[in-house]
Amino acid sequence: MLGLGLWAAAPAAAAGRFAAPGDYDLTLTVGGRVRTYLVHLPPLFRERAPLPVLLAFHGGGGTAAGFKAYSGLDAVADREGFVVVYPDGSGRLGRRLLTWNAGECCGFARDANVNDVGFALALVAALGADLPLDRRRVYATGHSNGAMMAYRVALEAAERIAAIAPVAGMMVADPFAPAAPVPVLHIHSVDDPRALYAGGLGPPFPLTSVRVAHRPVEAGLARWIARAGCPAAGQVVEERATPPDARGRRHTATRWRWGPCASGAGVELWKLTGAGHGWPGGPSPLPERLTGPDTTVISAAEEVWRFVRRFRRP
């Protein structure tokens, strides 16, 4: 796949396009398509030491810029010292209404069979030519369709991805045959009105008849648990709750952990109640009537990094 041969190249990267910490808007041609993406470099970039990198995939119909604005990942990256890469999906309207080819979903990217895994790998390889990246610490997260995309990258490039932390979207790619175990943190609300926790057809998207078939969260996680050699039974390791809001609504979050795992990988689940389809800790870019209530019971940005930072590839 495109990018694999370049992955291990250029261990001592030159400054190239990146002269200082901050934000960069870049392009890369992959498979004849001009792809766009944003890069956020933390202040620690000045020290030129190899830095971990987090691929952050926006939701279906969203954009890299939109996800960057509401995810809160830049602030965590600045404090903790990692690079965040926000790729754009594909669509018919330039950098608007973009989707990912995550397998059975979604939209233009799926219908055109866009090679988004190839894009992700080529992107990291290209950045590694100009940035001091720690190739053993490449992580992925995503929201909704972007969460599905994080799963597909882990499935097809398990030997390259150190850990993933998808939010509000379960794996929809087959076959399930990752070349190696991959640590997984999944974040999802049982009351998500769009990406149904128990699986099934979600509601139509606004002004369309398009519906997405979702797979059950716990059944999907069970496959990663087995692949990692973890005990089948999980344990509750943390519980949180919010005070009732003005409408008397109370959100809860329960963190489940499966382990220890024979492979050294780990699997965790933040199981939320009361929350909707939004990114926990951040404001939803869509109205509540479409995605359900926002929540602050956990910060997805903080929890993503808390989990993935522990893992690195051999």
What are the pLDDT digits (tens) for 225-241? 999 999 999 999 999 99
Sorted by sequence, the CB contacts under 8 Å of residue 111 that are 6+ apart come out as none
Categorise residue 233: left if φ over 0, alpha if ψ from -120 to 50, beta otherwise.
beta
What is the spatial distance between Cα 142 and Cα 197, in angstroms, rounded to a whole number?
A: 16
Residue 3 confidence (pLDDT) = 37
Give pTM, 2 decimals: 0.93
Q: Is the per-residue pLDDT at 254 higher than 60?
A: yes
Residue 83 confidence (pLDDT) = 98
30-42 pLDDT, tens digit per residue, is 999 999 999 999 9
User: In DSSP terms, which residues pair with 258 in a beta bridge?
Assistant: 267
- What mean pLDDT is predicted for residues 48-59? 95
**C-beta separation of 282 from 301 below 8 A:** yes
**C-beta separation of 223 from 176 below 8 A:** yes
At 118, give phi and psi (nearest 5°). -60, -40
Q: Domain spans of the chain? A: 22-308
Residue 206 confidence (pLDDT) = 76
Q: Is the per-residue pLDDT at 15 higher than 80?
A: no
Query: Which of the listed CATH numbers 3.40.50.1820, 3.40.50.300, 3.90.1330.10, 3.40.50.970 matches domain 22-308?
Result: 3.40.50.1820
Closest CA to 68 of 58, 54, 77: 58
Sorted by sequence, the CB contacts under 8 Å of residue 149 that are 6+ apart come out as 57, 89, 100, 101, 102, 116, 120, 140, 142
Q: Give 208's pLDDT tier (boundaries 50, 70, 90).
A: confident
**C-beta separation of 263 from 228 below 8 A:** yes
- For the ranges 2-11, 90-99, 179-188, 237-246, the lowest mean pLDDT is seen at 2-11
Closest CA to 214 of 205, 201, 225: 201
**C-beta separation of 29 from 123 below 8 A:** no
- For the ranges 44-53, 56-65, 81-90, 144-153, the lowest mean pLDDT is seen at 44-53
Considering only CA atoms, give the Rg of the chain. 18
